[in-house]
Amino acid sequence: MEPFRIKTIEPIPFPSREERVRALAAAGHNLFRVPASAISVDLLTDSGTSAMSAQQWAALLSGDESYAGARSFERFETVVRDLTGYREVIPVHQGRAAERILLGAMLGAGDISVGNTHFDTTRASVEAAGATAADFPESQSPASGFGGNIDLDKVERLLCSADGARVRCVVLTITNNAAGGQPVSIDNVAGARALCDRHGVPLLLDASRFAENAYLVTVRDPEHAGVAPRRVAREMFTLADGCWASLKKDGLANIGGLIALNSQEVAARCRDQLIAVEGFPTYGGLAGRDLEALAQGLDEVTDPAYLRYRSEAAQWFGSRLAAAGVPVVEPVGCHAVYVDAAAHLPHIPPHELPATAFANALYSEGGVRVSELGTLVFGRRNPDGGPDLPAPRELVRFALPRRVYTSNHLEYVAEAAARVTAAKDRIPGYRVVEQADTLRHFTAVLKPLG
C-alpha cells in the first residue's frame, strides 16, 4: 500500500463521451492540446505532476526570496552536493533549460553527442547547437533487467573511427525514458566511464529519474541487493563527470531543475548563459520557496519504502493492463507503464501513427490522457516527401504522477483500455496536417484517416 496518507484532495472532471470527442476534435486530435478540465485521469507525464509532502509544503514558508545568495540556495546546494558529490551546483527552472544550457556549452557545429537514447527535448538541444545526436541503445531484451543500457561496443567503434574526434560527450539517460523506462546498470555506467577515460570524452547523466534507476539496480542487480538506493545513486554520480536533471520528476516538485558538474570551466560557461536566459546563478529562474521544496524532495525521494511502493504500483498497474489484453513492455519500470502500439494495432502502419491512434481512442473512451512515444515524437519527415521515416518503436506511455493516483484510478484506466482493446480493429490511423519544425508533437494538428 501507499506509505503515506492523503491530506488534500482535488475534484476530478468527468466529461461525457460526447464532450470528450468534441474536445479532442477541437484540439486537432492532439492530446497535448486538450485542456486539463476535459481530462479524468491524466497520465500524460510524470513531470511536474507530483503531489508534494507536508514537509515540502512547510518548507515553502521558509523560502528566502533574496535575489542573490539566498539561504534557500545554500540549502539546495548542500543537499545536491551531498547527493551527487559534484561541487558545481546550478539551479534552473526545469530540465530542458538545464540540457539546453549545458549541451550548448559543450557542443558546436559538426560535433556529436552519443547516448543510450536522447529524449525528445535532449535531441532538440543537441541539434540547436548544430551537433548530431547519435543513439546506441543496447540491443538486449528488456527482460535482461537493464534494457536502458548503452551499447558499449558501438560507442567504442565510433570513438575509434574517424568521427571519434567529433564526439564531445556521452550521455546516459537514467532511466531510459524512450526505451520503456528501463534502468541502466552500474556495470554499464562503469563501462561507459572506462571508454570515456580512454578517449578523453566527458560522461554525463540525464539524472531526472536517478532515484528510480537506483532502486531498480537494488532489485535487479544481485551485487547491489540490500544496498540503500541513495548509496547506489551516489555511485552512479561518482562514475560521471556531471549531470543535469529535471527535478519535476525525482525532485518530487512541480517546477525546477539543475546542472551539477565537476568542471569549474564548464560550470562558468553555463553560469554565463544562465544569467542571460534564466536569472542569477543562485536562483536560476526559481523562487526561494521552490528551492526549499526541491531540497526537501531530494531528501525524501530515496526513501526505500517510497521507492518500493512506486515500483510495485507500476508493476501492478502493468499486470492490470496486460490482463486487459494490452501488450505491455516488460519488465515494468517505475515511472510509467509502456504499451507496444505496433503490436496492438498491426493494421495501422507507422506513418499512420498507431501510438497516437491508441492514445486518442483511450481518451475518447474514458477521458484518460496518455503520451505517444512513437513516430509522431521520434519519427522524421521524409526528405523525399514520402511518408514519415518511422521511429524505432511505437510506444504509448502511461506515466504515473508521483503520489497522486490510487489503485482505483488505475483500475478505471485498465477497464477503459480493455474496452478500447475489444474494438481495436476499428481504430483509425492519423496523418499530420500542421507541424512545427522541431518537437512537433507538442503542437501538431492531426486528422483521423477513414
Q: What is the pLDDT of residue 142?
A: 60
Binned at pLDDT 50, 70 and 90, residue 140 comes out as low
pLDDT in tens, 81-134: 999 999 999 999 999 999 999 999 999 999 999 999 998 899 999 999 999 999
Domain end (from 265, 300, 335): 300
Q: Is residue 11 part of a domain?
A: no
Residues 294 and 313 in one domain: no
Residues 29 and 85 in one domain: no
User: Of 66-75, 99-108, 429-438, where does mean pLDDT reach its minimum?
Assistant: 429-438
Q: Is residue 418 part of a domain?
A: yes
pLDDT in tens, 291-325: 999 999 999 999 999 999 999 999 999 999 999 99
For 241-254, the DSSP string reads SEEEEETTSTT-SS
pLDDT for residue 180 is more than 90: no
pLDDT for residue 144 is more than 90: no
Residues 98 and 203 in one domain: yes
Residues 66 and 35 in one domain: no
Q: Are 245 and 257 in contact (CB under 8 A)?
A: yes
Region 230-238 average pLDDT? 98
Q: Is residue 101 part of a domain?
A: yes
Residue 159: which CATH number? Answer: 3.40.640.10
What stretches of 160-250 adopt beta strand conformation (E)?
A: 167-173, 203-206, 242-246
Q: Is residue 45 part of a domain?
A: no
Q: What is the pLDDT of residue 381?
A: 81
Domain end (from 257, 275, 300): 300
Q: What is the pLDDT of residue 292?
A: 98
Q: What is the pLDDT of residue 438?
A: 87
The CB density around residue 258, as the number of other CB atoms within 10 Å, is 29
Is residue 256 exposed (0-12), middle (13-18) or buried (19+ Cβ within 10 Å)?
buried
3-state SS of 69-106?
Answer: CCHHHHHHHHHHHHHHCCCEEEEECCHHHHHHHHHHHH
Q: Is residue 48 part of a domain?
A: no
Residues of the domain holding 145: 54-300
Q: Name the grid cell of 402.
A: 508521483
Residues 76 and 25 in one domain: no
Domain end (from 300, 334, 366): 300
Q: Is residue 47 part of a domain?
A: no
Q: Is residue 351 part of a domain?
A: yes
Q: Is residue 414 part of a domain?
A: yes
pLDDT for residue 407 is more than 80: yes
pLDDT in tens, 320-378: 999 999 999 999 999 999 999 999 999 999 999 999 999 999 999 999 999 999 999 98
Residues 259 and 385 in one domain: no
Residues 257 and 382 in one domain: no
pLDDT in tens, 243-272: 999 999 999 999 999 999 999 999 999 999
Residues 28 and 59 in one domain: no
Please tell me the total count of domains within the chain.
Answer: 2
The overall average pLDDT reported for the chain is 95
Residue 316: which CATH number? Answer: 3.90.1150.10
Q: What is the pLDDT of residue 82?
A: 98
Residues 251 and 119 in one domain: yes
pLDDT for residue 177 is more than 90: no
Residues 358 and 290 in one domain: no
State what percent of residues in the chain have pLDDT above 90: 90
pLDDT for residue 33 is more than 80: yes
Binned at pLDDT 50, 70 and 90, residue 1 comes out as confident
Residues 316 and 289 in one domain: no
Residues 435 and 373 in one domain: yes
